[in-house]
Amino acid sequence: MSILNTPLKMGDLELKNRLVLAPLTRSRSNSERIPTDVMVEYYRQRANAGLMLTEATVISEDAVGYSNTPGLWNSEQAKAWTPIVQAVHEQGAKIFAQLWHVGRISDPEFLSGHTPVAPSAIQPEGHVSLLRPKRPYVTPRALAVEEIQVIIAKYKQAALFAKEAGFDGVELHAANGYLIDQFLQSGTNQRTDQYGGTLENRARLLLEVVDVLIDVWGAGRVGVHIAPRGDSHDMHDDHPIQTFGYVMQQLSQRHIAFVFAREYESEDSISPVLRPQFNGVWIANEKLTASSANTLLENKSADAVAFGQLFIANPDLLERLEHDLPLNEVDFNTLYPSNDDLNKGYTDYPTLSTHG
């Protein structure tokens, strides 16, 4: 048995192995942001992972930035998540809901004509994903302090709906240039109130949301998703080692279950500096191979490893990685549905057993 397929204590939970399904936006929910039946099969197929993180799941109607991404702000959505959770639990895997507010990475078309919000009115470079005709991001509106308090309350309500759905815990999406990340990093936060300026102020929203998630779930069932390289959606921080190091220290004091770090290995990676500053489970992610993942686990640079694209194309990824078997390649043309066939490129990737 490889180290990948050994149990792991993570917060209040015991994982059957150290393989993690990364959060993957696939846009298979309906227009009301309610999970669909095809999503049950998708997660069921991949429950060979010890831990599954749902695709990013929006906390409110005004938190969205993509078509047909699922939500967790009402009981109907929570009820539709329940069969997904049950399908995962039937195979002994654990599943956390990843809670998401996109902030400025949206467009008025998704927000009933309203302007996207952010810590500061700074327009991101780039174009709105998947909307046609192609258009640049608009300049967002800076949130008032009172509005920030409302958003924190919405995170708490989403965490309660996650509990209603039967999830094992929640992960805060604080990465990839979305709202929490926008507050944290200096390049997107030019506020002069208690949510801006100093590092402690820029990290305030992240930590206040973590605290309300802990109120609902307990620290041992809360995780945080970070992207310390700042390589998505026009992000930048003047002192990333200090910024993310402070967050690690604060999260350690709260004894949360895990940190998920999306940062590929290279000479400029800061995860090796951050990892010793956090006392929970460390999940490494991005551009991993069977070999590099195993090395990270063996030298204790990570406690678990997460895969995204490889898990899309290989539902039986654990078996393939453990035995160094051939891997299917991702069809990028079917990452998001182009017609009414939601299964295409979603639940129809062949497994080893399919090949006989």
C-alpha to C-alpha distance for 143 and 131, rounded to whole angstroms: 25
| H/E element, 19 | strand 19-21
Q: Which amino acid is at 133?
A: P
Per-position DSSP letters for 43-56, written without gaps between them: HHHTTTSSEEEPSP
C-alpha to C-alpha distance for 44 and 42, rounded to whole angstroms: 6
Rounded to 5 degrees, φ, ψ at 19 are -95, 135
The helix/strand/coil state of 191 is coil
Q: How far is CA 255 from CA 51, 62, 117, 304, in A?
A: 19, 31, 31, 17
Q: Which amino acid is at 130?
A: L
CA angle 177, 296, 298 (to 5 degrees): 155
Known active-site residue 264: no
Say which of 42, 66, 178, 195 is annotated catalytic: 178
C-alpha to C-alpha distance for 147 and 154, rounded to whole angstroms: 11
How many other CB atoms sit within 10 Å of the CB of residue 267?
4
Name, in order, each residue with C-beta under 8 angstroms of 226's C-beta and a sequence gap of 6 or more.
Answer: 174, 175, 181, 244, 247, 259, 260, 261, 262
CA angle 177, 178, 182 (to 5 degrees): 70
Cis, peptide link before residue 133, omega less than 30° from 0: yes
Enzyme catalytic residues? 178
